[in-house]
Amino acid sequence: MKLVYHANPHLPRLVWYAVMSGSPVEIDVYHGEGVETFTDFFVEGAWNGDFSKGDFYKATFFMGSGGQILKDGVWHKVVIATPTHALERLYSIQDDTALHLSNSLPFILHMTGLRLDPGYLDYERDFNSLLKGLRRYERYLPLYGNRAVRLHYYCNIIIDESLALTEEDKSSPGPFADYEDYHDKLTRAIGQLIKNASSPERKIQYGLVTNISKGYDSAACAALARDFGCDTAVSFNRPGHYAWDNGAEIAKKLGYKTIILKSADEYKTNTRLVEAEFVSSGELGSDIIFSAFEQEYAGNIVFKGNLGDTFWDKNKTDINSEMRFENGVFTETCYIEYRLRTGYIALFPASFGAVEWPSIHAISNSREMSRYSIGGTYDRPIPRRILEERGIDRGMFGIHKSGAGFNYRYDSMKRIRSRMAPLSFESFYSFYKANRRKGFRVLIRWVEYLWRAKNIYIAFFLNRLGITAPYGRVRCDQTPNPGIPSYLFNWGIYVMMNRYKTAMNGGRDEVHIS
């Protein structure tokens, strides 16, 4: 069993696709130039361990993905590792002669010659099923021609010489006793990961950058990043509420020297169809605005506050060890293809020890944390303590929940047009016209969807009339919008598959969407 590498400068920097076949098994890995490759392992990302050992699959804090050949007695086996959070996933497809794996859905589809089923209406719901937990999500996405691709979250994939595949649980740091225990283990893991990412044995040594706002989570992450020498913070200062929510003053108080402020609408001038990257994961676009920081993110570890609103929220009631978020709205996975192309490591401090959520929640509600609890529905003692112990005044953050980004889920064609760059919308609209679904089945789906989402639309119209009404939510296992937004994922995959086709053809014969 051996690894055979095929580097391609035209591929996204951190993407990889591995195909296992033959006897003895040979593993061909096609990858971008940022993937680290060695005789017995390949990896994109970093972890809280010694880089030279390549033991990312054992890590309790792994931001990225990779594979390693292991000796198991007289036999060999392969372990393919997902990150230790569920905001990214791996994909596998098995056929009669080979096993295919990748960290990119459009890449594995291109390389296997498979494609989405254009008549299937539940892709968004299948991806969103992750909110039901690690034990109950939809593991297979249907493809055209009765084929399927398997999704893998938060696990190690073990493959033997017969190409049989099993999943094993990730390592856990164990339950946390109190705040000091949690804080010490978290900061130690971050420090070890940063050391790993700057190892001289790497082709690429990563720097540090952080997001920051006036909310709890990104501000706390910026405070942690500053402890490790991070000196660049990025935030939005326009339009609308972003002017109020930017974290520049907090960054200054933390000692940041480079503070970069940009418009959340900057993506609207792009000519690369960047929106396709952010809808091709099945989660419709919540992070598109962060494409403004492509230059700042590239080649860096980026501290991000994702998952803080879950694991650091004192008021959560559905606490569990399976990362089950049935009351969640979005899976927050839309940045995947953008990250792989830009070439950065996304670091989510709140994801550390995620399967130990019950003990984290207990700390948030403990007596020792009461002085950092301000009451109300927006109350997160852990990030508040992180910030206040680093000199940030109580009134500077965590006052109002604002949030960044948007999602296309409920948008009309007119609204989508207003929230896309002109060239991107032209491409999407052409795709929609060429692939528009018709028939009684679509009508039935509309009836099902409108019945389930009626409270959201009623609240929308009441609020437009000046009558305050709660929007409510559509559960993750309910009918997704079968209208215009349902074409976005298919369009995104179509655009991205064409990009991978071009890359694998040496950057030639690019297919233009029309």
Q: What is the pLDDT of residues 410-420, one digit of tens each?
A: 899 999 999 99
Q: How far apart are CA 113 and CA 108, in angstroms?
A: 8
CA angle 499/503/505 to nearest 5° reads 115
Which pair of tokens denotes residue 127? 């991806």
- In the chain, pLDDT over 70 holds for what percent of residues? 96
Q: How far apart are CA 382 and CA 372, in angstroms?
A: 8
| pLDDT tens-digit map of 459-468 | 878 888 888 8
- In the chain, pLDDT over 90 holds for what percent of residues? 76
Please check the confidence at residue 215 and state whether its pLDDT lies above 70: yes
CB neighbourhood size of 504 (10 A): 17
Local structure of 479: helix, strand or coil: coil
More confident residue, 240 or 305: 305
Q: How far apart are CA 190 and CA 196, in angstroms?
A: 10
| pLDDT tens-digit map of 129-163 | 999 989 999 999 999 999 999 999 999 999 998 89
Q: In 239-335, where do the E strands start and end?
A: 258-263, 300-303
Contact assessment for residue 235 and residue 248, using Cβ atoms and an 8 Å cutoff: yes
Note the CATH architecture for domain 179-396. Answer: 3-Layer(aba) Sandwich (3.40)
Query: Exposed (0-12), middle (13-18) or buried (19+): which is 180, by Cβ within 10 Å?
Result: exposed
Contact assessment for residue 492 and residue 280, using Cβ atoms and an 8 Å cutoff: yes
Q: How far apart are CA 231 and CA 90, in angstroms?
A: 32
Q: What is the mean pLDDT of residues 5-31?
A: 95
Which pair of tokens denotes residue 212? 């920051």
Q: How far apart are CA 304 and CA 242, in angstroms?
A: 17
C-alpha distances out from residue 242 to 7, 272, 404, Å: 41, 25, 8
Q: How far apart are CA 277 and CA 489, in angstroms?
A: 10
Alpha-helix residue ranges (DSSP H) falling in 69-137:
105-112, 123-128
Domain with CATH 3.60.20 in the chain: 2-169
Distant-in-sequence, close-in-space partners of 453: CB < 8 Å, separation ≥ 6: 410, 474, 481
Supply the pLDDT for residue 255: 97
| pLDDT tens-digit map of 332-391 | 899 999 999 999 999 999 999 999 999 999 999 999 999 999 999 999 999 999 999 999
Rg from Cα positions in the chain: 22
More confident residue, 132 or 325: 132
The three state secondary structure string of 179-243 is HHHHHHHHHHHHHHHHHHHCCCCCCCCCEEEEECECCHHHHHHHHHHHHCCCCEEEEEEECCCHH
More confident residue, 405 or 59: 59
Q: How far apart are CA 387 and CA 24, in angstroms?
A: 55
The strand pairing partners of 222, in sequence order, are none
Residue type, 432: Y
CATH of span 2-169: 3.60.20
pLDDT class for 511, splitting at 50, 70, 90?
Answer: very low
| pLDDT tens-digit map of 270-294 | 999 999 999 999 899 889 999 999 9
> Which residue in the block uniquely carries the two structure tokens 């951190």?
14
Alpha-helix residue ranges (DSSP H) falling in 284-368:
294-297, 308-311, 336-342, 357-364
Computed over every residue of the chain, the mean pLDDT equals 92
Strands 16-21 and 98-102, bridge-based pairing: antiparallel
Please check the confidence at residue 266 and state whether its pLDDT lies above 90: yes
C-alpha distances out from residue 90 to 156, 336, 376, 397, 491, Å: 10, 11, 38, 36, 21
The model carries a pTM of 0.93
Contact assessment for residue 319 and residue 364, using Cβ atoms and an 8 Å cutoff: no
Supply the pLDDT for residue 410: 87
Domain with CATH 3.40.50 in the chain: 179-396
Which pair of tokens denotes residue 97? 């002669």
Please check the confidence at residue 442 and state whether its pLDDT lies above 70: yes
